[in-house]
Amino acid sequence: MASNTGIYLTYQGENDELYSVMDDNGKSLHIQKNRAVPESFHQIQARPLAPVFRVLVIAALGLAPAGLGTLFFVPLAMLWTIGIMLTRPLAKADRIRVAIAVGISIGLLSLAIFLSLTSYSKFS
């Protein structure tokens, strides 16, 4: 009965993909490098429109002091949204967010103009 306890491997060499070893019987064995695939960290999803919505919140808060913040921040948010739309390929969800950001911008700007015209007519 033969015992398998005396098997030794001799290192023969390596390349970018394989290790080459030889056993006692002269049989060549090639072992692949990088056998274990490392776990990847969760990819942080890029949210290119998050700053636009922050600017729109500031614009909405800018309605209180005579709408001046809104008149400044809404065009900024619109330009930012258009810039993102033209420079990046957007997924469907991001295209929907662009439409929402544009709608909110138009609504806030219309509201600011309406409120400023109403207050102007009261003082005239």
> Sign of the CA dihedral 72, 73, 74, 75?
positive
What mean pLDDT, rounded, does the chain reach?
81
Asked whether residue 44 is domain-assigned, the answer is no
Stretch 85-98: mean pLDDT, rounded? 88
Tokens of 37: 């695939």
Distance of CA 103 to the CA centre of its chain: 23
Count the domains in the chain: 2
Spatial contact of 10 and 26, defined as CB atoms under 8 Å apart: no
Same domain, 56 and 93: yes
Residue type, 106: I
Asked whether residue 40 is domain-assigned, the answer is no
Mean pLDDT lowest among 40-54, 76-90, 94-108: 40-54
Per the structure, the complete domain to which residue 71 belongs is given by: 50-123
| Strand ordering across the sheet containing 18-22 | 10-14, 18-22, 28-32
Asked whether residue 43 is domain-assigned, the answer is no
Question: For residue 57, is pLDDT > 80?
Answer: yes
Q: What pLDDT sits at residue 1?
A: 47
What is the percent of the chain where pLDDT is above 90? 3
